[in-house]
Amino acid sequence: MSVEKSKPVPRPGILDIAAYVPGKEHAPGVARVYKLSSNETPLGASQKAVEAFKNAAGNLERYPDGQAHELREAIAAVHGLNPANIMCGNGSDELLGLLCHVYLGAGDEAIITEHGFLVYKIQIMGAGATPVTVKEKDHAVDVDAILAAVTPKTKMVFIANPGNPTGTYVPVSEIRRLQAGLPKDAVLVLDAAYAEYVRRNDYESGIEIVSSNANVVMTRTFSKVYGLAALRVGWMYAPAEIIDALNRIRGPFNMNAPAISAGAAAVRDQAHVQEAVSFNLMWIEKLKGALETIGLTVTPSVTNFILIHFPDADGKRAADADEFLTSRGYVLRAVKGYGFPNSLRMSVGPEEANRGVIESLGEFMGRKA
Ligand SMILES: Cc1ncc(COP(=O)(O)O)c(C=O)c1O
């Protein structure tokens, strides 16, 4: 006889999940605050996207296009893809969740890496499966460690390429070696949220690998270089069978109309993307050089953020620096939850913020930049 419970009880494992904590945005008592904690672009969105967003306000009584045709076609045209292989999501976060709910269940394992993006673990556990965490090497994904962790239960592997919060990347040859070593029924998820920023000859976002394999998907976002984080726009390029399976459980109107219109206008404005990428490249180099001059260590980054490591000395640790910077209005990201207890992640911000952080950290370290 089943015993009636006194209240609703979540499925086993749900209450073991640590909810995602977004980057902080406040600096109490400071007039001018620079949020450098969520890898948003300092250039903002394309004016064309802003116009499209405003125009969408005239039709708010109507349901959006449930297939997001305009956006999928615009993405397909810019990247040379078939729109049938593109699915859009309410941020790439939604797509990561849908993948887990379609391909994972109790008894399955999904491999993530030591410093991987925290949403993977949340979604794996949300689907009732078991996350298996493998070590990284020199703050970068280690393909051998992943392959060594594969078991008959492995049904998914998540890689952020480039990685967050490390900013490092895995060359395409290594991604191919990984795919070749995985079971054919395990999905390899290549999360390329920062792909637009990468300027390396041996990097590929994943388009080629998805095109030639049945078990690889690539996710992308409009929250970073496109400056549309507020609208929640992500997309996935995937084999037709995977798109078909996810379409069966996705919300019928998961993309809102302003997001569809603004996203399409944003992706068509590649000149704006180039401007953002050039600004970023200049500052990534300047920041790294300046912070190293004042005695800090910075992991080499191909993205729009840097991981700064602090001395293990009283008053000079990451938590002390975080407090010092916040008191001056510079809000960086603490990354203890990512396995870096003595580091901070800094997004490239507007010029005055970048200069301000360099100057403040120089003062903090007692050395001139
Ligand atoms: C590696 C990685 N993947 C995915 C996302 C989520 O992107 P979205 O805003 O499209 O949900 C982020 C955002 O921080 C990220 O860093």
Structure tokens at 64: 């959006």
Residue 234 lies in a domain: yes
Of 216, 238, 268, which residue constitutes the final position of a domain?
268
The verdict on 119 and 174 lying in the same domain is yes
Q: Rounded to an integer, what distance in angstroms lies between the CA atom of residue 109 and that of residue 150?
A: 9
pLDDT at 2: 67
Residue 102 lies in a domain: yes
Q: Which residue's structure tokens are 């999360």?
A: 191
**Would you place residue 130 in the very low, low, confident or very high pLDDT band (cuts 50, 70, 90)?**
very high
The verdict on 171 and 187 lying in the same domain is yes
77: domain CATH number?
3.40.640.10
Tell me what the mean pLDDT of segment 349-360 comes to: 98
Residue 5 lies in a domain: no
Residue 2 lies in a domain: no
Which residues sit opposite 88 in a β-bridge? 235
**Would you place residue 317 in the very low, low, confident or very high pLDDT band (cuts 50, 70, 90)?**
very high
Q: Summarize pLDDT for 177-229 with one digit per residue, the tens.
A: 999 999 999 999 999 999 999 999 999 999 999 999 999 999 999 999 999 99
Residue 107 lies in a domain: yes
The verdict on 123 and 221 lying in the same domain is yes
Nearest atom in ligand 1 to the alpha carbon of residue 222 is: 10
Structure tokens at 126: 């949300």
Q: Rounded to an integer, what distance in angstroms lies between the CA atom of residue 120 and that of residue 219?
A: 12
Nearest atom in ligand 1 to the alpha carbon of residue 229 is: 9
Of 214, 236, 268, which residue constitutes the final position of a domain?
268
**Cβ(346) – ligand 1 distance below 6 Å:** no
The verdict on 195 and 82 lying in the same domain is yes
The verdict on 181 and 295 lying in the same domain is no
Virtual torsion, Cα 333, 338, 342, 345, nearest 10 deg: -30
**Cβ(238) – ligand 1 distance below 6 Å:** no
Distance 119 CA to ligand 1 centre (A): 8
Q: Determine the distance from the C-alpha atom of residue 62 to the mean position of all C-alpha atoms in its chain, rounded to a whole number.
A: 31
Q: Are 344 and 336 in contact (CB under 8 A)?
A: no
Task: Write the secondary structure of 146-213 as one string of H (helix), E (strand) and C (coil).
Answer: HHHHCCCCEEEEEEECCCCCCCCCCCHHHHHHHHHHCCCCCEEEEECCCHHHCCCCCCCCCHHHHHCC
**Cβ(123) – ligand 1 distance below 6 Å:** no
Of 213, 237, 268, which residue constitutes the final position of a domain?
268
Q: Rounded to an integer, what distance in angstroms lies between the CA atom of residue 246 and that of residue 264?
A: 22
The verdict on 275 and 258 lying in the same domain is no
Residue 122 lies in a domain: yes
Q: Rounded to an integer, what distance in angstroms lies between the CA atom of residue 104 and that of residue 279?
A: 40
Distance 293 CA to ligand 1 centre (A): 31
- Say if residue 1's pLDDT is above 70: no
The residue type of 194 is Y
Residue 216 lies in a domain: yes
The verdict on 85 and 192 lying in the same domain is yes
Residue 9 lies in a domain: no
**Cβ(193) – ligand 1 distance below 6 Å:** yes
- Say if residue 325's pLDDT is above 80: yes
The verdict on 23 and 73 lying in the same domain is no
The verdict on 275 and 264 lying in the same domain is no
Quickly count helices (H) and strands (E) in the chain: 12, 13
Distance 221 CA to ligand 1 centre (A): 7
The verdict on 23 and 115 lying in the same domain is no
pTM, two decimals, is 0.96
Residues 6 or more apart whose CB falls under 8 angstroms from that of 175 comprise 143, 159, 161, 190, 204, 206, 209
Residue ranges of alpha helices (H) inside the chain are 47-56, 69-79, 92-103, 118-126, 143-149, 172-181, 207-211, 240-247, 257-268, 270-293, 318-327, 351-365
pLDDT at 155: 98
The verdict on 93 and 192 lying in the same domain is yes
Q: Which domain holds residue 123?
A: 47-268
314: domain CATH number?
3.90.1150.10
pLDDT at 367: 82
Distance 303 CA to ligand 1 centre (A): 13
What total of structural domains would you count in the chain?
A: 2
Q: Rounded to an integer, what distance in angstroms lies between the CA atom of residue 305 and that of residue 349?
A: 9
The verdict on 94 and 149 lying in the same domain is yes
| pLDDT > 90 in the chain, percent | 95
